[in-house]
Structure 1
Amino acid sequence: MVAGETSGDLLAGLLLEGLRARWPLLRSVGIGGPTMAAQGFEAWWPHDKLAVRGYVEVLSHYREIASIRHQLAERLLAEKPDAFIGVDAPDFNLDLETRLKANGVPTVQFVSPSIWAWRGGRIDKVRRATDLVLCIFPFEPAIYAKQGIAAAYVGHPLASVIPVDVPRTAARESLGVAPDETLVALLPGSRRAEIQYIAPRLFAAAALMQRERPALRFVVPVVPGLRHLVEPLRRQHAPNATIELLDGRAYDALAACDVTLVASGTATLEAALFKRPMVVVYAMHALTYQMSKRMKYQPWVALPNILLRDFAVPELLQGEASGAKIAAAAFKWLDDPSSCEQLAARFATLHAELRRDTARMATDAIEEVLSRRQA
């Protein structure tokens, strides 16, 4: 298995739980993180080696990443595993899967590349690379069926992990937040580049918001190992704001908050599953942004908006993502409880659509691939 970054590690850990229930003597190896390790995974490289996003940003890491992929392929071809499962990270995994499949190793891609949003030409690479695509969104299998590619909808694992009824009171008590306090959660991303570009904007927004409403409280769940990047940015951009850095605890922060300012990515879907109003923010290297903008097919960037096919939550991207605009969008939610309730109802419907027994369904589909190969 290969999972890149924190969200991939979480998804892979959930899948491993289902695989181990089916095959108790399962041995799993490759690239992964702590959630996978808790399921007995043997990491030959840590997952954060792949936590790089953006064309320009990847260039500085390309040689190391390419070397890891080559070494991993050689080692896997020598061991000939019963199956390879790539979890998200399509730019790394699809090339690896192509080589493994050509040499007789069954390959599964868990999480479809976003071919419906941008870079649709990758579907030809998916065909060459995979024996099966495990899809986490219900509209995806039909896209692959038209191209004769095996795909199965297995639901989104997070929809089962995150409770339908949000434990809001317990989360606020665990964070020491009083019932009458207003809490804002800042989620600047889990990658170094995201923190570099996005955290300053979120901290600037927090500083403006507290200047206008001094009673506001702010929390920032920090990915383990990245506090040393976040703390200096907090001091620089919001030195006087009441901002608490948490060691992890993103789910407590999302359950407890009144609004979240969140980097575009998996965290926006997590916020939706917690039924929270949000302001979605993203910024990156200017050249990377221009290249990405030319290749996208839809007007939305945030996953909740893509799934609802509507600008249900505001998206502030690149030059639009100023502290002042982020703060204004957050205040709009805080000052309109009725809109927050309507949004929560839409998110509850979305939660029900995504909630499946993902680990079992994915394991069933993988077992079918293995059975076909053995036959």
Structure 2
Amino acid sequence: MRVSMVVAERSGDQLAALLLGGLKRAWPELTSDGIGGPQMQALGFASRWSCDELSVRGLVEALMRYRRITAIRRQLIDELIAQPPDLFVGVDASDFNLTVERELRQRGIPAIQLVCPSIWAWRPERVTKIRESVRHILCLYPFEPALLAEHGIEGTFVGHPVADVIPLDPDRAAARQALALDPAVQVVALLPGSRPAEIRYLIQPFLQAARCMLDQRPQLQFVLPTHELLVPAIEQALQATGMLGRVKVVMGQSHAVQAACDVALVASGTATLETALFKRPMVIAYKMQWLSWRMANGKRLLPWVGLPNILCNDSLVPEFLQEQVQPQVLADAVLRWLDDPAAVQRLQTRFTALHHELRQDMPTLASHAIEKILAA
């Protein structure tokens, strides 16, 4: 059994690694290759390119790197057609993967998608391309299969793998000990994203917000998880904002940081869902290149961008987007959570219910779904 996979960012690497673990249990001799990240490679995945090559955010940024990304995609498609895998799995990154999947499917190579393109949130016009490209979609959220069925697309709810990994009752004390944080002092997690473009637009306001918080509460601890590629930009921003030595920067360990914190300031994306599953209050912020924002915002269908608010269908946590991303505004919103334990308790109750709904043992369910697809 040979499976080819493509992920386009570090959060996709985590999802794909969990799926890969499930597939290896079903097919012990399985081999895998394509475009991945370090967690997939640790499971024996042969990565032809790093997922960081594809990591862009926003339409304008994608256009700026269009030639490089399309060249990688063309070479990948040609190689997969020359040496067909038993199955291709695109993990999120639908703008890249649907084109690959369509060409492979036209040549009889089964292609499925892990993570349903968010046609319920924006760009519903992608439905036709999805239907032409994939045999099946493994859905992370329970409402998605019925929505896909309305458009003649097969889907299976497999749960969200992060919900399987994150404990229902995270151990804050153990996480603080692991990160060498003072157990008696409140901790604010700074989660500005894992892509270079996110750091470019969010690291300064996040650190400036931390500076504002320190001015009001000098005892606060700040911790920021990242990966090696982003360290130079983060260190430069720490220096520029006067926060060098006041923010603990750790490599990886984002889950430990989320478990350790009392509240998080977090970029919109998968990290917001992870923070919700850790039952931590948060403030969501996002900012991108202005033209990308105008183009994306014009196709948005929902009043929220944060997954906790979308999945709970409620304005549970504050969101600040684009010009609203102001340091003092972010700081005030974070501190409000620290001053309202009753609101935090209510939020934790909602997030616990969400955790139970999403906890479905994704690797096993996805492997069973794939077995049925291949046998059909």
Q: TM-score range by the shorter chain?
A: over 0.9
Q: Is structure 2 residue 78 aligned with structure 1 residue 74?
A: yes
Amino acid at match of 2:319: E
1:117, 1:297 within 8 Å by CA — same for their partners in 2?
A: yes
The corresponding residue for 2:294 is 290
- Per-residue deviation, 1:241: 6.8
Counterpart selection for 2:214 from 207, 210, 216: 210
Map of 1:350-361 to 2, 5 A cutoff?
A: 350-361=354-365
Aligned to 2:183: 179
Measured against aligned partners, the alpha-carbon deviations of 1:17-43 in whole angstroms (never above 9, x if no partner) come to 010111111111100011111111100
TM-score after normalising by structure 1: 0.98
Runs of 4+ in 1 over 6 A off after TM superposition: none
2: CA distance, partners of 1:65 / 1:176: 40
Distance apart, 1:367 and its partner CA: 1.1
Point out the more displaced range, 97-106 or 171-180.
171-180
Q: Is the contact made by 1:207 and 1:240 (CA closer than 8 Å) also made in structure 2?
A: no
Aligned with 1:221: secondary structure?
Answer: strand
Aligned letter for 2:16?
A
1:255 equivalent in structure 2: 259
Instruction: Answer yes or no: is 1:142 the counterpart of 2:146.
Output: yes
Aligned partner (choices 29, 51, 57) of residue 55 of structure 2? 51
Alpha-carbon separation, structure 2, partners of 1:247 and 1:223: 5
Does 2:200 correspond to 1:200?
Answer: no
Is 1:366 equivalent to 2:370 in the alignment?
A: yes
Identity %, equivalent residues: 49
Instruction: Identify the residue that residue 269 of structure 1 maps to in structure 2.
Output: 273
In the alignment, which of 219, 222, 231 is matched to residue 227 of structure 1?
231
| TM-score, L = length of structure 2 | 0.98
Match of 1:27 in 2: 31
Post-superposition offset of 1:235: 1.2
Counterpart CA distance in 2 for 1:311 and 1:159 is 21
Gaps of 5+ in 1: none
> Aligned to 2:343, which of 339, 343, 358?
339
Post-superposition shift, 1:240?
6.4
Which of these residues, 106, 111, 123, is aligned with residue 107 of structure 1? Answer: 111
Q: Which amino acid aligns with 1:180?
A: A
Say whether residues 1:163 and 2:167 are aligned partners. Answer: yes
Residue pair 2:207, 2:243 contacting (<8 A) in 1 also: no
Per-residue deviation, residues 118-168 of structure 1 (Å, max 9, x unmatched): 000111111000000000000000011111211000000000011111011
Q: State the Cα distance separating 1:180 from its structure 2 match.
A: 2.2
2:95 aligns to what SS in structure 1? helix
Does 2:157 align with 1:153?
A: yes
CA RMSD of the aligned region, Å? 0.9
Q: How many residues align?
A: 372
**Cα separation, 2, equivalents of 1:355 and 1:240:** 39
1:54 Cα deviation from its structure 2 partner? 0.5
1:323 and 1:40 map into 2 onto residues whose CA distance is 43
